Chain A
Amino acid sequence: MPIPYRNEVWLLVFLGQALGLGDGRGPPPRSTYRLAASRRVLSFDGRVFMNDEKKRPTPTFHDSACAISHTTNCPLKCRKFIMPHAVSPDSSPTVGEDVTMTDDSAVDTMMDTSQGDEPPSAQGDHQKNEDLEAMFDDEDDDEFTASSAPDSSVPAIIPPQSAKFSDPEVMRAFYQRLFPYKQLFHWLNHSAVPNHDFQHREFAFTLANDVYLRYQSFPSAELFRKQCVAQTPSRFEIGPVYSTNPRDRKTLRRAAAFKPLSKELVFDIDMTDYDEIRTCCSGGKICLRCWSFMKMAIKVLDVALREDFGFQHILWVYSGRRGVHAWVCDKSARQLDDNQRKSIATYLELLKGGDNSGKKVNARRPLHPHIERSLAILREHFQADILQEQDPWLEDEKAAHLLSLLPDETLIKSLQKKWGSSSHRSSKNKWADIDDLASSGGGSAKLDPRKLREAKQDIVLEYTYPRLDAAVSKHLNHLLKSPFCVHPGTGRVCVPIDPSTVDDFDPLDVPTVTELLGQVDQYFKDAGEEEAADAAARRAPDWEKTRLKPYVEYFRGFVNNLVKDEQNGKRKAEGGEAMEF
Chain B
Amino acid sequence: MPTIEILPQTQSTHSHHGVNWAYTTLPPAHSVSGTLPSGTSGRGQRARANNYENSAARQRQINARISELEKDNYRDVVIPIPKSDAKRASYRSRHTATQNVRRVLQSQKTFVNHLADEEALHPGVAAPTSQQRNDDTTAGVGSDDEMDIDTPETKAREEEDGTPPVIMIGGNILDGGPPLGYARAVSRPSKQAERKFCEICGYWGNYRCGKCGARYCDTHCMALHLETACNKLYR
Report if A and B associate in a common complex: no
Q: Which residues of B are in contact with A by a Cβ distance under 8 Å?
A: none
